[in-house]
């Protein structure tokens, strides 16, 4: 019995383990994906909202564009630093 246990342990130690050699990278979080989609939807709604609203609608669109750009830069940073695939 002890020999079988030692043999099994030896085989387990010699075989590569997915947890030992796997990359720490992950996919982009689903929350970030949903946030980007929500921002795109909001931008589209504002673009089709009609009048200028005293320039505030246009400013809101610019803020959404800035937020989308910031998320793109965050994703690039995460990829460069191996936080995501």
> From first to last of its 85 residues, what are the pLDDT tens digits of the chain?
555 554 455 555 555 554 444 455 578 889 999 999 999 999 999 999 988 789 999 999 999 999 999 999 999 998 888 877 6
DSSP string over 19-56: HHHS-S-BPPPHHHHHHHHHHHHHHHHHHTS-S-GGGH
> How far is the first Cα of the chain from the last one, in angstroms, to the nearest whole number?
45
Q: Which residues touch 7 (CB under 8 Å, ≥6 apart)?
A: none
- Is 0.85 topped by the overall pTM? no
Residue 31 is assigned to a structural domain of this protein: no
In a domain, 5, yes or no: no
Supply the range of the domain harboring residue 85: 43-85
Q: What is the tally of structural domains in the chain? A: 1
């Amino acid at each position: 019995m002890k020999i079988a246990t030692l043999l099994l342990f030896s085989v387990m130690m010699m075989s590569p383990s997915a947890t030992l050699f796997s990359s720490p990278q992950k996919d982009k979080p689903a929350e970030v994906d949903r946030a980007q989609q929500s921002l795109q939807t909001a931008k589209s709604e504002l673009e089709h909202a009609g009048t200028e609203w005293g320039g505030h609608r246009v400013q809101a669109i610019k803020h959404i564009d800035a937020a989308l750009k910031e998320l793109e830069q965050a994703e690039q940073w995460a990829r460069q630093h191996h936080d995501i695939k």
